Amino acid sequence: MKIAVIAANGKAGQLIVKEAQAAGHDVTAIVRGENRSAATNVITRDIMDITAEDLAGFDAVVDAFGAFTPKTLPLHTRSVAHLGDVLAGSDARLYVVGGAGSMIVDDKGTKLLETPDFPNMFVPLASAQSEQLDYLRTRDDFN
């Protein structure tokens, strides 16, 4: 399988690259700067500058992008919207690394991030990733 890993220099991205390579997949890292992942195939590009041509021919695209500051948290949804636009109509599957905060924990639809024991320090990130998931659920033009 031919796999592209966006944000391959990050914690999750580096681990995903290693695991995919260990499983025998052809892996390409997509990074903003110098590649620090184990991938030998590299595309140097900001996530918001990725084009359909960059992702052509991949069976899977893994979005391991992470933003953690109040100013950058909205990039979770903006970047996945961009990737959806880029992948619309293609056969590639988009996999998005997210957290557990958006998991439904009861029959009332309560998300884990809404429970009293969810750590306050993670609520902003979990909320941003939950919004990203909600956005993804509105799209049906890519896999």
- Residue 142 covered by a domain: no
Pair type for strands 2-6 and 26-31: parallel
Q: What is the pLDDT, as a whole number, of residue 34?
A: 97
Q: Which residues contact 10 (CB under 8 A, 6 or more apart)?
A: 64, 65, 66
pTM of the model: 0.94
Contact at 8 Å (CB) between 112 and 103?
A: yes
Q: What is the pLDDT, as a whole number, of residue 78?
A: 97
Closest C-alpha to 96, from 3, 1, 2, 6: 6
What CATH number should be reported for the domain holding residue 20? 3.40.50.720
Q: Which domain holds residue 70?
A: 2-136
Q: Which helix (H) or strand (E) holds 86?
A: helix 75-87
- Residue 141 covered by a domain: no
- Residue 27 covered by a domain: yes
pLDDT in tens, the chain (143 residues): 999 999 999 999 999 999 999 999 999 999 999 999 999 999 999 999 999 999 999 999 999 999 999 999 999 999 999 999 999 999 999 999 998 999 999 999 999 999 999 999 999 999 999 999 999 999 999 99
Q: What is the pLDDT, as a whole number, of residue 63?
A: 98
CA 141 to chain centre: 17
Give me the number of domains the chain comprises. Answer: 1
Q: What is the pLDDT, as a whole number, of residue 13?
A: 98
Q: What is the pLDDT, as a whole number, of residue 102?
A: 92
Q: What is the pLDDT, as a whole number, of residue 36?
A: 97
- Residue 143 covered by a domain: no
